[in-house]
Amino acid sequence: MQNNLFQDQKFRGILYQTLVVGFFALGLYFVINTTAYNLEKRNIATGFSFLNNPAGFDISFSPFLDFKSTDTHLKVYFVGVLNTLLVSFCGCIAATILGFIVGIIRLSSNWLLSRIAYIYVEFTRNTPLLLQIILWYAILIQLPRIKQAPQIWETFYISNRGLFGPKPIFLDGSNIVILSLVLGFIISFFIARWAKKRQDTTGQQFPTFTTNLSIIVFLPLVVFFIMGSPITLEYPVLKGFNFKGGAVIRPEFIAMFLALSIYTAAFISETVRSGILSVTKGQREASGALGLKKNWIMRLIIIPQALRVIVPPLTSQYLNLTKNSSLGIAVGYADLVHGFGGISLNQTGQAIECMAITMATYLLISLTISFFMNIYNRSIQFKEK
Amino acid sequence: MKKLLSIFAVLAFAFSANAGTLDDVKNRGFLKCGVTTGLIGFAAPDDAGNWAGFDVDVCRAVAAAIFGDSSKVEFTTTTGKSRFPTLASGEIDMLARNTTWTLSRDVNLGFEFVGVNYYDGQGFMIPSALGVDDATGLDGATVCIQTGTTTELNLADFFRANGIGYEALPIETNDEARENLFAGRCDVYTTDASGLSATRAQADDPDKWVVLPNIISKEPLGPLVRHGDHQWGDVVRWSLNTLIIAEELGINSSNVDDMKSSNIPEVLRVLGVEGGYGEMLELSNDFAYNIIKQVGNYSESFDRNIGPDTPLGIGRNLNALWTDGGILYAPPFR
């Protein structure tokens, strides 16, 4: 039997796999060892203690955290993560909406509309994203200079330093207004559930959308006036070199947001189109025969079935968009790669540490997105009863 | 036999890894020198595509010292960010890229600065229409800044020390910063004063731009090499020193042949007529002669690339010889 060991498929399988893993481990060991040796030979300091050192430089684009040059490199990291998440989140939402609209338009029977959608898709997905980002930025930077910024009702200003608008200031009692808004959403949720249940059992319909919309809008509005208008607006004012006060969206962010969402939407629209086409013609005809309205057919019959095809590739588009946001460095958008993986890396010289942290972070973000998308995917799969 | 071969391979690898940079350069037949991605006057390709500039001349001087031919250089462009990894990885032999000599770069990054070829300081450039004549009046301004530089840190320190605020716009290269500044995305561009002069020289109408008088930092710029190879460090150091010493002694590219019959002992030592100083560096004895003949002395390089008669129009100031009121000084050639 001993001689026949090599003819045993199971044994061979284990042997080859052990060899492959062994060689991989050996290679990894060699790379790490060589790196460590060379770092030591060149007297390059290693370790993660630099994270607690003050950064020494400023990051102006930090909408969530207040960043000063005395803050640590660790805070640079968090600012970078938040900026990456911000542009990825906004980009994913916009790309999904635009992608669905374009995908449906491409299937439209209107020749002109479907041609326009076709040209858009082919143009955006066949040119490099980096060029598109730089193109958007080059356009935005040609907007009027800050001193000549055109204004709309003395509230909004458009300039090549960003779009300026009013910022809400929350005074005493504003919590109650926000609380009432949350309450409005909760009430709406229960109304929707009740209405659905009633329709399922009795077939009677309820104007859920208009009812809920008015609850969400009017309840906080009434509370707002009862509390004596506790939320006011702060308007931007041109003082010295820049606008003071108010809120601002920077051109670096706009360029990234536009480029990422428009680029990814082209891919999503193709996914949506393939999903809709995957639903058999009979479904559409049958629902038409039942007398459903045209947009109901889309919403209630086609899309739920199409989603089963759409969601898995949609997940990878979200991952692509998130990873592509690392191109922010091209226009000076202070994302994770530009801020922590770029400036901090450079100022401290801790290249391996910074890159390892940055990569681990992208991995974590991507896995999180996959995790939630997989849950969603499972929830929309066809359930056999 | 196979065993023997593999031992040979390992040995050959070990030897090549330990060979000095000077031997590598000599065997290769040309010098690999890292420069900027293009900063007029310091390192930029001319109309014919040849690299020229003040930093480029340092590379050329080293090539002249080793090969007796200043054209045996291959230039690699580096950004503020890529320069250190490029040098550390051995992709280039030396870096001559207006790089500031600081403690952490010298010690922590494993490099060795061999001297200073330009004493600079960080300044600010603004449109003259802004009507600001002092950097402390820049409260609230948007500032374009090259990332990964010492200027980035100085900028934060300066505004903090003066209790005024600013908005930083971090930019990767000098060209991008220039575009943002000229488009009005930022009010101010800050970098070394020499770099500002170069940027201003490239504006459509240089008179519309003004460099503020504030110099907020010391920026000793100089060539650097990897730490640990002292022989190679010495070659680069004394190539640079030769440029300065030649100016001190009044030797330039046009009179260098006549000076060989000079009666000043140090001139004869520099030109290799007396003594064996080149051999100490494992170079030929006329290495300094080759540098001066082909590249010129410090003032020739300065005047040709960045001096008052060039578009940059930079005066000697701190970079004048110590005998002329500056701080340029080289150890004796002895």
Phi-psi region of A178 (alpha: psi -120 to 50; beta: other; left: phi over 0): alpha
Domains of chain B: residue spans and CATH: 19-119+221-324 (3.40.190.10), 122-216 (3.40.190.10)
| Of residues A380 and B288, more confidently modeled | B288
Which segments of A205-350 does DSSP mark as H helices, in order? 208-226, 251-278, 281-289, 294-296, 303-324, 336-338, 345-348
Q: Which H/E stretch holds residue A234?
A: strand A231-234
CA distance A5 to B240: 70
How far is the C-alpha of B144 from the C-alpha of B129, rounded, in Å?
18
Residue-level pLDDT, tens digit, chain A, 385 residues: 556 777 888 888 899 999 999 999 999 999 888 888 877 776 667 778 888 888 888 888 888 888 888 888 999 999 999 999 999 999 999 999 999 999 999 988 899 999 999 999 999 999 999 999 999 999 998 888 877 777 788 778 888 888 888 888 777 777 888 888 888 888 888 888 888 888 888 878 778 788 888 888 888 788 888 777 777 778 888 777 888 777 888 899 999 999 999 999 999 999 999 999 999 889 989 998 998 888 888 888 888 899 999 999 999 999 999 999 999 888 888 889 988 988 888 888 788 889 999 999 999 999 999 999 999 998 888 776 6
Q: Cβ(A297)–Cβ(A336) under 8 Å?
A: no
- Order of strands, edge to edge, in the sheet holding B94-95? B73-77, B31-35, B94-95, B224-226, B111-113
Rounded to a whole number of angstroms, the distance from the CA of A284 to the nearest CA of chain B is: 53
Q: Can you name the residues that pair with B182 across neighbouring β-strands?
A: none
Q: Are the C-beta atoms of residues B29 and B39 closer than 8 Å to each other?
A: no
Residue B198: both structure tokens together = 């170069």
Long-range contacts of A201-208 (CB under 8 A, 24+ apart): none
Chain center to CA of A264: 11
CB A42 to CB B227 under 8 A?
yes
More confident: B269 or A36: B269
Chain B residues with beta carbon closer than 8 angstroms to that of A328: none
> pLDDT digit string (tens) for B225-257?
998 888 999 999 999 999 999 999 999 999 999
- The pLDDT confidence band at residue B9, using thresholds 50, 70 and 90, is very low
Give the ipTM of the model, two decimals please: 0.73
Query: Which of A42, A58, A83, A353 to substitute to test the interface with B, most B CBs within 10 Å?
Result: A58
Residue A56 is which amino acid? G
Tokens of B76: 């690699």
At residue A217's C-alpha, the angle toward residues A211 and A222, to 5°, is: 115
Per-residue pLDDT, A353: 87
Taking CA–CA distances from B188, the nearest residue in chain A reads: A241
Nearest to A332 among B148, B153, B170 (CB): B170
User: Which residue has 């060979």 as its token pair?
Assistant: B19
Sheet with B188-192: list strands edge to edge.
B166-171, B141-146, B188-192, B122-127, B209-211
**Cβ contact, residue pair A141, B172, below 8 Å:** no
3-state secondary structure of A264: helix
B301-308 long-range CB contacts below 8 Å, 24 or more apart? B301/B54, B301/B57, B301/B243, B302/B54, B305/B41, B305/B42, B305/B52, B305/B53, B305/B54, B305/B57, B306/B41, B306/B42, B306/B54, B306/B194, B306/B197, B306/B198
Residues of B in contact with A329 (CB under 8 A): 172
- Which residues from A are below 8 Å from B184, CB to CB? 145-146, 160
What is the signed CA dihedral for B261, B262, B265, B268, rounded to 10 degrees?
-50
pLDDT per position as a tens digit, A105-161: 998 889 999 999 999 999 999 999 999 999 999 999 888 887 777 778 877 888 888
Residues of A in contact with B155 (CB under 8 A): 57-58
Kind of pairing between the strands at B224-226 and B111-113: antiparallel
For the residues B292-317, what does the mean pLDDT come to?
Answer: 91
Beta carbons of B180 and B144 less than 8 angstroms apart:
yes
Write the DSSP assignment of B13-70 as a string of letters.
HHHHHHS-HHHHHHHHTSEEEEE-S-BTTTBEE-TTS-EESHHHHHHHHHHHHHHS-T
pLDDT by residue (tens digit) across A354-385?
999 999 999 999 999 999 999 999 888 877 66
**pLDDT digits 0-9 by tens, B110-129:** 899 999 999 999 999 999 88
B62's tokens: 């080293």
**What is the enclosing helix (H) or strand (E) of A247?**
strand A247-249
Contact B170 A161 (CB under 8 A): no
Q: Which residues in B lie closer than 8 A to residue A330 (C-beta atoms)?
A: 172
Alpha helices in B186-251 (DSSP H): 193-201, 230-249
The answer, yes or no, to whether residue B134 has pLDDT greater than 80, is yes
**Whether B183 and A142 lie within 8 Å, measured CB to CB:** yes
**Is a pLDDT exceeding 60 seen at residue B10?**
no
Residues A199, A203: Cα–Cα separation, whole Å? 4
